[in-house]
Structure formats: structure tokens, C-alpha cells
Amino acid sequence: MKCPRCDVDLKSTDLGEYGFVIIDVCPDCRGAWFDKGELDRLDESIWTDVEKLDFETAANQRSALECPRCGGDTEPLSPHDAGELVVDRCTSCEGFWLDKGELDKMKEVAAEKDNETLKNMILLQRPPGWSWLRWSIYCLREYYRGNVQRPLP
């Protein structure tokens, strides 16, 4: 696969701190391609249920790219409640292209949303829409940070 911006070969890269996902990253511009479903597997992500996310098209913000996977057109999309974040989704294969920095921005948005969620919780309860895996990892992390007394609820 080639980078839709630079036309150089994308390299398979482990996302590391973001979760156990192998994605295709451009060595030049550091943009990244996520096949359909791969964004859902991110550790901390507002995209956990990406199929059901409410998007609005963010046309005019940037021009359409050619999908590196299937050659289809991408459309710029902004999930509701995600601030200024705009990503490109292929209208055919439904993969996503994220430019450099967008993953970090996504993580920030996710952290903000998580804080909001947690503020609204009286007891430790698995927030709606969170998988058990995501919830367990979150609880363990909070336990090691000393924010909760038990590793798991």
C-alpha cells in the first residue's frame, strides 16, 4: 500500500502504547491507515463502536484522498462530540486514514470523554459501551495509579 499523500510504501507498525494493533504507517508523513475494524481495537478510543458512531461530513476542511487499500474515494468525517477532530474514511472499504497527530488528538478526546463519564459515575461501574477488556485494563491502570482501592470492581 502507498501513502495517499506521499506515494511512498506504508510500513506495518505496531501501535504500541495505543493498543495491540498492527497498522500501516507512512515513514515520511507519519500518517496511518486503519483497515475497517482496526480503529475499534485501540486501547483508548472514542471509536470503540465505530460502526455506530454519529458522524458529520466535514467537507471543505480538506480535499478527498484516494484510499490506499482499494483506490476508492475517502470523505472527511468528524465524529460528534470530538471537537476539531477530522479523519478520512473510505466510502468503499470503510477504512480510515489518520494524519500525523490525529491519533494523539483522538486519544485526548477519548480521555476527556472518559473523565466526563467517570465524573457522572457514583460507584465504579463499567460505562455503557465499554468492552470488558477495555474496562478491566482501565481498572488495573487506575489501581496502579492509586486512584481506586481494588484492581477490579
Q: Does 73 bind Zn ion (CB under 5 A)?
A: no
Closest approach, Cβ 22 to Zn ion, in A, equals 18
Is 77 an interacting residue with respect to Zn ion (CB under 5 A)? no
Q: What angle do CA 119, 123, 128 make, to 5 degrees?
A: 70
CB 153 within 8 A of CB 138: no
Min CB(11)–Zn ion separation in Å = 11
Q: In terms of C-beta density within 10 A (0-12 exposed, 13-18 middle, 19 or more buried), how is residue 58 classed? A: middle
Candidate residues 1, 2, 13, 28; the one interacting with Zn ion per rule CB under 5 A: 28
Question: Looking at 15, 23, 26, 39, which residue binds Zn ion (CB under 5 A)?
Answer: 26
Contacts (CB under 5 A) with Zn ion, residues 98-117 = none
Q: Is the dihedral of CA 94, 2, 85, 137 positive or negative?
A: positive
Pairwise CA distance, residues 11 & 6, whole Å: 13
Residues 6+ apart with CB under 8 A from 141: none
Only one of the segments 16-24, 89-97, 108-116, 139-147 lies at the binding site for Zn ion (rule: CB under 5 A); that segment is 89-97
Which one among 6, 22, 59, 140 touches Zn ion, defined by CB under 5 A?
A: 6
Nearer to Zn ion, 9 or 49 (CB): 9
- As a whole number of Å, the CA-based R_g of the chain is 17
List residues near Zn ion by CB under 5 A: 3, 5-6, 26, 28-29, 31, 67, 69-70, 72, 90, 92-93
